Amino acid sequence: MTDRQNDKDMLRKAVLQERDALSAAVRLSKSRAIAGHGASALAESAASKNVSGFYPIRSEADVRLLLSLLEDAGARLSLPAVVDRQTIVFRRYRFGETLVPGGFGTFAPGEIAEVVDPDILLMPLSVFDYHGNRIGYGAGHYDRAIERLHMLGKKPLLVGVAFDLQGVPDVPAEPHDVPLDAIITESGVQWFSEPKSGV
């Protein structure tokens, strides 16, 4: 294990302990604020676009309200499903549809759902910094999914979703890490690239 990987692991563990300490009521309140900020920032650009969210696990911010608001604005939704230990795909989803276990503790549409390539990718994470760097959960699912999309010539808008307490001054980024375009927290939206009106 490299020094940077070790630093990432230590940061991940410390920040997730803080996030886990939040009460369910506090997480819900913060998630509602995230939904309001996210809808204001993304609704116009999300109309008629494929937007992938995620079904929250553990103490993650709950993006389901944000997904509902974006669908109301005309977005086509999808959720990630782990199809093997290395790969996630994004399955078409309409808000309120029945979900099945989707791997990694999450839920997703079933195998008959259409597989789509997202234009906007709402991403869970454990840690972020205010330069657009992120630390996931260590499995690399999103890194590989983004690489696959890039190989197809697609460049989705990468939007991290987290609570303020998950922010740190600097993430020990590695050369292969792809930075976020924006982060949404309960305090608002911060762009690291130029805000895009038509993804």
11 among the known binding-site residues? Answer: yes
Residue 117's nearest CA partner among 148, 163, 82 is 148
60 among the known binding-site residues? Answer: yes
Distances (CA, A) of 167 to 5, 96, 122, 195: 18, 31, 17, 20
96 among the known binding-site residues? Answer: no
33 among the known binding-site residues? Answer: no
139 among the known binding-site residues? Answer: yes
Q: How many helices (H) and strands (E) does the chain have?
A: 4, 13
| Residue 85 neighbours by CB under 8 Å, 6+ apart | none
Distance of alpha carbon 109 from alpha carbon 93, whole angstroms? 6
| Residue 163 neighbours by CB under 8 Å, 6+ apart | 19, 22, 27, 30, 61, 185, 186
32 among the known binding-site residues? Answer: no
Strands 157-161 and 134-135: unpaired
135 among the known binding-site residues? Answer: yes
8 among the known binding-site residues? Answer: yes
130 among the known binding-site residues? Answer: no
Residues making up the annotated binding site are 8-12, 60, 134-142
The binding site for substrate consists of: 60
Residues contributing to the annotated binding site for ATP: 8-12, 134-142
